[in-house]
């Protein structure tokens, strides 16, 4: 874990993407200021930050759409640039916009971009069918995409990005404006890709998505990578801890005594019929806590876990809320 713009250390698992001290200015505005990070094979890395934080500009440089003013991007060992061809074979870009052709069918969109990626013949045909199935559009594959719902277009947008099995899949806010059902499908798809060994760079301003999908998260604000690490590492930065609240009837004092004896519980406060416990890791401790309290004669009516989240991390690091 780190909390400044220093050079990112190798992940030790074969880095697919190395971003080193990227700087990009637009006139007087420095949109990206010295950002460095690395992504290993099979890792999902999230860039979490509010709108305008610089996420899309970083993505644009990683995908070779714009050139950095300073710094380098290396994909699978090859340096990325606007006119570079070789490193672009390793990436699959899913832009924030619905980058599909409305007059073409889903299948025609997939075939077009597959060909541009160098795929041909039976290999292309088979992969198109496979991806169409993966994104749940088999039944509508021959319909013009202008007739699709927003969620279907989003899924096709992702399907095009992963058609050629890229080493690095870049997803720029892929769930913006998507209904809950499609959103869940998209998130499940990304989880599967990570399992298959694909490196994923995922930008979002939805804290829940970053927590669910990402192995490591970079917190970005005003073009600066404020901190990066696993969710738990980032949470620890805030000094905040997990809490379990138990409420019910019976002998709360006896239950409090019994719970204080647990190694995972660092503090127990009693307030009439309610116990408030401070624990190291609430999800792993909760079963033992409930059993011990019940055994001590407390009849539980409600159990509530409170954990510090990335919202509080962002607030801690930047002094403002994530959705500001």
Partner 1 sequence: MRPLWTMAISDLRQRARDKSVFIFGIAVPLALMGVLNLVIGNLLSRDLTPVTVAVSVPVGDEAGQSLVGTLRSLGDIDGVGGFDVRVRPVSPSDVRGLVAGDEADLGLTVPDGFGAALLQGAPKDVTVVDGGGGIENDVVISVVTGTVDRYRAATVAATAAGRVGLPASDLAAIGREVATSLPTIALTEGRASDEQLSTTGALVAGQAGLFLLFTVGFGVLGLVNEREQGTLARLRSMPMRPGLIVAAKALVSFILGVVATTVLLTAGSLLFDVDFGSPLAVAVLVLCAVTAGTSITFVIARIARTAEQSNVAQSIVALVLGIAGGAFFPLNAGGVLGTLLDANPVGAFIRGLGITSGGGGVGDIGVPVLVLLVFAVAMVGVSRVVPDRGDAL
Residues 6+ apart with CB under 8 A from 209: 46, 175, 187, 202
Q: Which stretch binds partner 1 (CB under 8 A): 31-39, 102-110, 296-304, 313-321?
A: 102-110
Least Å from the CB of residue 89 to partner 1: 4
The sign of the CA dihedral 136, 140, 141, 146 is negative
Least distance to partner 1 from the beta carbon of 209, Å? 20
Stretch in the footprint of partner 1 (CB under 8 A) among 25-33, 101-109, 135-143, 218-226: 101-109
Contact 113/104 with Cβ under 8 angstroms? no
Closest contact distance (angstroms) between CB of 93 and partner 1 is 4
> Residue 311 has what DSSP assignment?
H
Q: Which of 83, 139, 180, 302 binds partner 1 (CB under 8 A)?
A: 83
Among 13, 115, 142, 192, binds partner 1 (CB under 8 A): 115
Mark the segment that binds partner 1 (CB under 8 A) among 23-31, 105-113, 202-210, 262-270: 105-113
DSSP-assigned letter for residue 46: E
- Looking only at residues 116 through 135 of this chain, which bind partner 1 when binding is defined by CB under 8 A? 116-118
Secondary structure class of 64 (helix, strand, coil): coil
Is position 176 an interface residue for partner 1 (rule: CB under 8 A)?
A: no
26 binds partner 1 (CB under 8 A): no
The Cα 290–Cα 255 span in angstroms is 10
Beta-carbon-side half-sphere exposure of residue 283 (alpha carbons within 13 Å): 3
Q: Least distance (Å) from partner 1 to the CB of residue 65?
A: 5
Vertex 184, ends 181 and 189: CA angle to 5°?
Answer: 130
Q: Binding partner 1 by CB under 8 A: which of 16, 63, 128, 265?
A: 63
Say whether residue 287 binds partner 1 (CB under 8 A): no
- Contact between 168 and partner 1 by CB under 8 A: the answer reads no
Our CB check for partner 1 shows the closer of 32 and 286 to be: 32
44 versus 60: smaller Cβ distance to partner 1: 60
Q: What is the DSSP letter of 6?
A: P
User: b or e along 231-253 (b: 16 or more beta carbons within 10 Å of the residue's beta carbon)?
Assistant: beebbebbeebbbbebbbeeebe
CB of 201 to partner 1, least distance (A): 13
Contacts of 98 (CB under 8 A, 6+ apart): 150, 153, 154, 157
Query: Which chain residues interact with partner 1 by CB under 8 A?
Result: 60, 63-65, 82-83, 85-86, 88-89, 91, 93, 95-104, 108, 112-113, 115-118, 144, 160
């Amino acid at each position: 874990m780190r909390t400044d713009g220093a050079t990112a250390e190798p992940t030790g698992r074969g880095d697919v993407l190395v971003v080193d001290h990227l700087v990009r200015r637009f006139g007087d505005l420095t949109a990206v200021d010295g950002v460095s990070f690395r992504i290993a094979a099979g890792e999902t890395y999230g860039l979490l930050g509010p709108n305008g934080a610089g996420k899309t500009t970083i993505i644009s440089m990683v995908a070779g759409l714009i050139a950095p003013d300073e710094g380098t991007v290396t994909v699978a060992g090859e340096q990325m640039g606007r006119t570079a061809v070789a490193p672009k074979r390793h990436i699959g870009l899913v832009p924030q916009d619905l980058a599909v052709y409305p007059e073409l069918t889903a299948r025609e969109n997939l075939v077009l971009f597959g060909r541009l990626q160098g795929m041909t013949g039976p290999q292309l045909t088979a992969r198109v069918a496979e991806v169409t199935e993966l994104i749940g559009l088999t039944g509508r594959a021959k319909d013009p995409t202008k007739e699709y719902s927003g969620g279907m277009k989003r899924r096709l947008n992702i399907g095009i990005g992963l058609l050629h099995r890229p080493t690095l899949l870049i997803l720029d806010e892929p769930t913006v404006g998507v209904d809950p059902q499609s959103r869940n499908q998209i998130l499940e798809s990304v989880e599967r890709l990570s399992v298959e060994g694909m490196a994923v760079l995922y930008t979002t301003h939805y804290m829940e998505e970053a927590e669910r999908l990402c192995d490591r998260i970079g917190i970005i604000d005003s073009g600066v990578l404020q901190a990066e690490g696993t969710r738990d590492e980032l949470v620890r930065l805030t000094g905040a801890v997990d809490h379990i609240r138990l409420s019910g009837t019976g002998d709360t004092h006896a239950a409090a005594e019994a719970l204080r004896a647990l190694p995972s519980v660092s503090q127990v406060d009693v307030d009439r019929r309610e116990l408030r416990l401070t624990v190291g890791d609430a999800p792993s401790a909760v079963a033992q806590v409930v059993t011990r309290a019940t055994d001590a004669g407390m009849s539980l009516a409600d159990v509530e876990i409170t954990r510090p989240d990335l919202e509080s991390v962002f607030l801690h690091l930047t002094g403002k809320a994530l959705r500001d």
